């Protein structure tokens, strides 16, 4: 099993890199950054699966849809955790990975989709993130919120793209070029 793990990881990374079409990625200016990403135009290289029992503080056991199990080291950052929403066995996760200098698979962004689901409220809006990318919202704008997704570790809500700055049991902070938006969980 362990002999197959490294070749499988290298194959997964090769497929992710190939999906970029060999193009180099340009960094948009701060004014243009996350708000212009069109998810249907970008190949999503995020890995999706369930958090396994072998998950610890420094590594994730990710059970992907095909039933395979991947083990990823967790990147440590002194200023901010790469894990958004915690790690609970059985929780659905979206994981952005890379291969480190030792050839090991490394998670450099983890979003707990189970924690993300639910009703969120701010001063001027409320919405509910449901399974299957559905959004139920009170926003009656020209661009109503109807769907959500994760694309390469970014949170796409309606037509806007955000980084999840922080995600907790009762709080959600979304960030884009316009600032940070704070939400609290609305209890049933």
pLDDT, tens digit, for every residue of 6-27?
A: 444 444 444 344 444 433 333 3
The contacts of residue 118 (CB under 8 Å, 6+ apart) are: 128, 129, 185, 186
Segment (H or E) for 150: strand 148-151
- Work out the pLDDT band at 148, boundaries 50, 70, 90: very high
pLDDT, tens digit, for every residue of 108-144?
A: 899 999 999 999 999 888 899 999 999 998 766 666 7
How many Å apart are CA 74 and CA 72, to the nearest integer? 6
110, 75 Cβ separation under 8 angstroms: no
DSSP state of 134: E
- Specify the pTM: 0.75
Sheet containing strand 148-151, strands side by side: 134-137, 126-130, 118-121, 179-185, 171-176, 160-167, 154-157, 148-151
Q: What percent of the chain has pLDDT over 90?
A: 48
* Cα angle for residues 11, 161, 174 (degrees, 5° grid): 105
């Amino acid at each position: 099993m362990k002999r197959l793990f490294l070749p499988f990881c290298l194959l997964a990374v090769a497929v992710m890199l190939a999906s970029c079409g060999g193009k180099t990625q340009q960094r948009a200016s701060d004014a243009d950054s996350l708000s212009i990403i069109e998810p249907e135009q970008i190949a999503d290289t995020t890995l999706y699966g369930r958090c396994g029992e072998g998950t610890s503080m420094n590594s994730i056991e990710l059970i992907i849809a095909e039933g395979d199990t991947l083990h990823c080291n967790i990147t440590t950052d002194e200023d901010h955790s790469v894990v958004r929403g915690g790690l609970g066995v059985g929780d659905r996760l979206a994981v952005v990975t890379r291969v480190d200098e030792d050839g090991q698979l490394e998670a450099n962004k983890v979003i707990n989709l189970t924690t993300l689901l639910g009703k969120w409220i701010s001063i001027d809006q409320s919405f509910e993130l449901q399974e299957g990318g559905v959004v139920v919202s009170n926003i009656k704008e020209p661009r109503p919120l109807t769907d959500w997704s994760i694309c390469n570790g970014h949170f796409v809500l309606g037509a806007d793209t955000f980084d999840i700055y922080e995600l907790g049991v009762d709080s959600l902070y979304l960030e884009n070029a316009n600032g940070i938006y704070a939400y609290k969980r609305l209890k049933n």
